[in-house]
Structure 1
Amino acid sequence: MADDAGAHRAIPEVEVSGPTHRRGPLRPDRLQSVRTRVSGAGLARLFQFGDAVALLLASFAATRLMNLPEVMWLGAPTLAIVLLVATGAYSMSARERLRRRFGRLLIAAAAAGGAAGTIYSLLDPAFPVIGCATWVAAAAAALCTTQTAWMFVLRRLRAKGQLTPNLVIVGGTAAAQRLIRRALKTRDVNILGIFDDRKDRVGPEVCGVPVLGKTADLIDHRILPYVDRIVITVPPKASARISQLLERLAPIPNPISLLLDDDDDEMQSRAVGRIADFDLMHISGASEKSSYLLVKRILDLTLSVLGLIALAPLMTAVAVAIRLDSPGPIFFRQRRHGYMNEEIVVWKFRSMKVEETDHKAARQVTADDDRVTRVGKFIRKTSLDELPQIFNIITGEMSIVGPRPHAIGMLSGGAEASKLVETYAHRHRIKPGLTGWAAVNGSRGPVDTAEDVRRRVALDLEYVERRSFWLDISIILRTAPCLLGDSGAVR
């Protein structure tokens, strides 16, 4: 792996400064990275679960009060949730009127209660009609209460910029202008800027949104970690131009979509809604499953907290050994690539002499490297130097399983590793990990040559495409045997 490098302060949130025209009317005052933002799909499932719990409690109370059949309290809530999902109640559109939203809730409650009541009355002629009405009233009250709470949560998240998607537009076309005008009306999306190869012809801004550069400037632009999606607004008929743009944007890890050009204002309005819900013509980028991400995060937190408790004595012993072995701090911090090219500060136990630390990973570690301390040799060989990254996992910057984070500007064979493989940044489509598919398949330690970099990236991208909960479990179980079995690896 890249060697210890110092980064002596945390990375601050990006403050938007400068003249208003450089920010544009659709750029929030404070940008938040994609990693720290809330998943709309995951939030919708959380709301569904909350509604289901509220309906079950209301149903239980109604059945007890009116002496209804026991099965009533389970069947009717299930039907109500199915109706709410089918009618789009969890689309979370900021434009939906309250009258329509609450009307939908009442209709779902009445339909579910009426259907269940009808079925049960056929089975039992003595089924009380008033009992059905009581269930509908209880269910409607429960749904109205929970949905009011959800609207409050959504309002807070949107105000903080944690839910509204951040977009970047490629192509200052007429379609881009209509998209921006519609976004100004609805505020469903934030448009951070425009990139166009015809910058001199397009001008410094399009409908107030600043033109930040040409397409090539987007590849390494510092705004990328804050962009949820890149939207190409070039007319679909210009297939050659679209292919050219996709080729140029290939190194970018962010999802890319094509906005179908349409002159109809109503169709454009729907397009903005689809963008807000991330439902466009998907071209490239990982399509995440919110259920997998939720389970993965729960696994990360559970194992990292338990690991921190269990390994606290060992980590204390390592810290004491480092302090006694050589002068200098116990920990060091290094700036590395995180999710969507975000710069994160990764923690490790210091394993090198302070005066020999390689802050930019310009020199890979070699066998019997004279920069490594006596304790450093042991903790590097056993990977104990990586244990402080448990804190990175707890804060959400890293995961237990994922591509190993590389130092920013890391050199391999005299060349910058990120420039050796065109799709290098695609490994940043997921959070970096403490262990990973590459590590358990022999690609562990320094990458000294271009071929080493290509193999590491190939294995990382294989994991990005195949990742699943069970693959993560398999990698975790294989990690310890791999660490014990590759004693010859240079660390």
Structure 2
Amino acid sequence: MPDCASPLVDAPAARTGAAQAAASKDAAQGRAARGPFRPDVWLNARQRSGVRLAAHYFRATDVLALTGLGVAALGVAAPDGFLSLSLAEAAPTAAGAATVLGLLRGLGLYRFGRERSAARHMAAVLGVTLSGAVVATGLGLLLDRQAPDRQSLDAAIAWAIGAVALIAGLHALWLSFVARWRRQGALAPNIVIVGATKHAEAVIRSALERRDLNVLGVFDDRLSRSPDRVAGVPVLGDAEALLNHRMTPYVDRIVLAIDAQGGSRVRELTRRLETLPNPLTVLVDSETGDAALERLASAPLAPLEGPQDPDRRAFNKRLQDLLIGAAALVAAAPIMALTALAIRLDSPGPIFFRQRRHGFNQEEIVVWKFRSMRHEAADATASRQVSAGDDRVTRVGRFIRATSLDELPQLFNVMTGEMSLVGPRPHAIGMKTGETESARLVAEYAHRHRIKPGMTGWAAVKGSRGPLHDATDVRRRVQLDLDYVERQSLWLDLRILLVTLPVLLGDRAAVR
């Protein structure tokens, strides 16, 4: 329906409406030409991961809101100031907040699944907040009878009224966010299917009915015998094309839909596709369409909250990046200002050097550094790695590279979420080791992109820093990076951060 739905429409407006209807029809035909279902808003895997973690941000906001409300209620109720309150007077609001927060999580009200309607969700939220209000006011009444001169009951009543309205309003807002993301397809996994088979067609037709998957395209290694489309989804190339396709940063999962009889073909495709950072799922023809779709739609990206452990780990890592990164940015601001001035006085050219590198899931990101080379000799593709006594490096550049001060602007990449404080170091796209592209020297090279790149990392503190001179260097760094990807935790990150500065400053032999 158009936004202006008045029954009184003049002739020009009618013509405009007809034109809009024609445009809508053309747009619909365009959508059909590129496949029956794709996300309205294209988000890469990193951005979609941020959407998936929204439930943790919602919960953190609820905690802060109830805490702030409790402080305000106690402050208003205390005639002699907030600091004059006793623990007993604060107990009712604390008990009420704990009840609300515990029930919200215990009843799964941060999952926002399709199985619970918005009305049922809001009814459950109101029930939870009323339960917390009863606990707070009941405890406040009990304490008021024991000590009538205290203000615990007044504070509890004020908090209870505010909590019901505040949490209900916040969850109405959370539901609106979730509904918009769901309409845009941001909560449905993005998949590509390898194999233009009848099995793939059955999966696509089932997905069309369910609408809980975004099928971006089909790839088939036998193009001469494959159709142009499979159930309306375009065939975009062969399996080799998928390895270098610009779509891969937007793909959450690769689905191999090959007939089980072709065992050698399945093994060969699996071996080739496992070099990508995207998870790979093999569907066997014994699975029905609904069973296959249920398995894919329940993959980690499908629910908003998802499996608790990976999402909790990702949320903690992002929180760590924001808190420590912001503090580091403030602390390093004077040093960064002096470094920028020194670069400006030392040689002509811009202060910053920007280079395209691979980020999470092979997303192309622009990494910021202080310029350490002569501007005319800058090497954006790292086709020639830095060597000892490199004549491209300026006088200030030698100092800031030796002390790693040139890396400080990457704090901006951390704050925007493109990088993390700790992770595999981002390599330039097309970086070469000798005459060969580094990514071609190790089959598992792209697996290091299964996590965000970092300013420092396990490989860096283990001595694998600077240029990669041969295939052995590449293999060692990739192995260290993969060790980190498997072991990543909050405590390992903190350990790496603590030892980074001593390791970097003590490593005088490294060429950087």
Identify the match of residue 23 of structure 1 among 28, 34, 56.
34
| 1:397 alignment partner, SS class | coil
1:263-295 residue CA offsets vs partner (Å, 9 max, x unmatched)? 375x5675565248547xx9xxx8872332332
| 1:167 alignment partner, SS class | strand
Give the Å deviation of 1:423: 0.6
Partner of 1:147: 171
Equivalent-residue separation in structure 2 for 1:88 and 1:174 (angstroms): 38
Identify the match of residue 109 of structure 2 among 89, 98, 112.
89
Partner of 1:165: 189
Identical-residue share of aligned pairs (%): 44
Q: What amino acid is the match of 1:403?
A: P
Equivalent-residue separation in structure 1 for 2:37 and 2:119 (angstroms): 28
Equivalent-residue separation in structure 2 for 1:152 and 1:69 (angstroms): 37
Mapped pair 1:215 → 2:226: no
Q: 1:79 to 1:151 in 2, by over 3 A?
A: same
Give the Å deviation of 1:464: 1.3
Identify the match of residue 48 of structure 1 among 42, 59, 69.
59
Q: 1:118 to 1:174 in 2, by over 3 A?
A: farther
Give the Å deviation of 1:452: 0.8
Partner of 1:457: 478
Q: 1:182 to 1:108 in 2, by over 3 A?
A: farther
Q: 1:238 to 1:143 in 2, by over 3 A?
A: farther
Partner of 1:204: 228
Identify the match of residue 367 of structure 1 among 388, 401, 409.
388
Mapped pair 1:336 → 2:357: yes
Partner of 2:426: 405
* Greater CA drift, 270-279 or 29-38: 270-279
Equivalent-residue separation in structure 1 for 2:510 and 2:283 (angstroms): 48
1:15-66 residue CA offsets vs partner (Å, 9 max, x unmatched)? x9x954553132235522222335355222233344456667899999999x
Give the Å deviation of 1:368: 1.4
Give the Å deviation of 1:399: 1.9
* Greater CA drift, 351-360 or 216-225: 351-360
Equivalent-residue separation in structure 1 for 2:466 and 2:300 (angstroms): 41
| 1:390 alignment partner, SS class | helix
Equivalent-residue separation in structure 2 for 1:94 and 1:475 (angstroms): 40
Identify the match of residue 45 of structure 2 among 34, 39, 43.
34
C-alpha RMSD of matched pairs (Å): 4.3
C-alpha contact (below 8 Å) 2:67/2:97 kept by paired residues: yes
Q: 1:141 to 1:173 in 2, by over 3 A?
A: farther
Q: 1:311 to 1:203 in 2, by over 3 A?
A: same
Q: 1:487 to 1:321 in 2, by over 3 A?
A: farther
Partner of 1:3: none
Give the Å deviation of 1:305: 2.4
C-alpha contact (below 8 Å) 2:422/2:493 kept by paired residues: yes
Mapped pair 1:309 → 2:330: no
Looking at both structures, which has the greater relative contact order when contacts are Cα pairs under 8 Å and sequence separation is at least 6? 1
Give unpaired runs (5+ residues) of structure 1.
1-15, 127-131
Q: 1:208 to 1:296 in 2, by over 3 A?
A: farther
Identify the match of residue 193 of structure 1 among 199, 217, 225.
217
1:56-115 residue CA offsets vs partner (Å, 9 max, x unmatched)? 7899999999xx997565446545544444444332234643343334445556777889
Q: What amino acid is the match of 1:378?
A: F
Q: What amino acid is the match of 1:231?
A: V
Give the Å deviation of 1:358: 2.9
Give the Å deviation of 1:307: 3.8
Q: 1:109 to 1:397 in 2, by over 3 A?
A: closer
Equivalent-residue separation in structure 2 for 1:182 and 1:315 (angstroms): 58
Q: 1:203 to 1:477 in 2, by over 3 A?
A: same
Give the Å deviation of 1:357: 2.9
C-alpha contact (below 8 Å) 1:91/1:277 kept by paired residues: no
TM-score (norm 2): 0.75
Q: Which structure has more helix as a fraction of its residues? A: 2
Q: 1:188 to 1:246 in 2, by over 3 A?
A: same
